[in-house]
Copies of this chain bind each other. A is one copy, B any other.
Amino acid sequence: MQIHDFKSVVANYKVIFFDAYGVLKNYNGLIPGVEKTFQYLRETNKEFYILTNDASRKPRQLADSYHNLGISDIVQDNIISSGMLAMDYLKQKVKSGKVVFLGTDDSAYYIETLGLEAVPISELDINDLTGIQALAFLDDEGFDWKTDLNKTINLLRRKNIPVIVANTDATYPVSKKEIAIAMGGLSEMIEAIVGKQFVGFGKPDSQMFIFAYEHIKTANIEKKDILMVGDTLHTDILGGNKFGLDTVLVLTGNTQSEDAEVRIRSSGIIPTYICEAATIE
């Protein structure tokens, strides 16, 4: 397994896409050294985006979380979240009316911004579904799982509406050793039970990459000019590969140095490069 120097790799590309968790930050805060990466990108005029499977917080909150950690180069415009994709989809497909959601009040931002009425699943009257246009899985917090997941099933049995999953990750890390079930895990269970097809957003699906691609401001950028940097084979690397980008696997998150080779071989998901971290000395 050949390890490449991150700076030498990045030097060959004009636009860099980063995953967030496990690449730029972890349960401890920033990955040490990452701040110099953004300094280098600024000095070399390379454009960058952070592609994150997250619909629990507004884009501004996501950007602020980096400011609070001391990186002022990352602003709201650099953030592409799966929540933004879901909002974009809702905008095309639901022109008015009510959208029922599972999530916190913060996550309802994505619905309300569009001028739609956001109805928390807990407040839904199952016997009056007038005006309900869609259902959105936004965040695993903010509702009672037993009561409200059962309510969700019966809502979907009564009314045939589009269902949006604003983050398809099955789990998320909560500490060095602990994980928690995310919206993707819950929504997949519900999808199997009701036998319907939900519309999900997040890596590895191409939607997120095209969304970022369309936001690029540098002129004449082709796919070969873009590098995707991630720590997870099944989302970041598979998604980048499928979209036709070169990819870097970093070893600071989900894929540890000692099992990177085995996982690449057994999954068949092959990054263009492997680097220790997304850091520049």
Contacts and interface: CB of A to CB of B under 8 A. Distances in A.
A241 interface: yes
B150 A180 contact: yes
B244 A88 contact: yes
A96 interface: no
A202 to B, nearest CB: 12
Interface in A232-281: 234, 238, 241-246, 264-270
Nearest to A224: B92
Interface string A193-216: 111111100000111001000000
Contacts of A192: 170, 185, 188
Nearest to A201: B242
B196 A179 contact: no
A88 B100 CA distance: 40
B153 A196 contact: no
Contacts of A178: 154
Interface stretch (A3-11, A43-51, A157-165): A157-165
A156 B210 CA distance: 30
A163 B241 contact: no
A19 B234 CA distance: 30
Contacts of A186: 189
Interface in A132-157: 140, 144-146, 149-150, 153-154, 156-157
A181 interface: yes
A238 B198 CA distance: 9
A268 B194 contact: yes
A274 B37 CA distance: 50
Contacts of A242: 89, 199, 207
A234 B197 contact: yes
Contacts of A223: 92
A187 to B, nearest CB: 10
A12 interface: no
Nearest to A154: B178
B189 A181 contact: yes
B196 A149 contact: no
A193 B199 contact: no
Contact of A92 (B150, B189, B245, B266): B245
A210 to B, nearest CB: 5
Which 5 residue pairs spanning A and B have beta carbons closest together? A196-B268, A145-B145, A92-B244, A189-B189, A206-B206
Given A92-B246, A150-B180, 5 more contacts: A92-B244, A93-B241, A160-B268, A185-B192, A196-B267
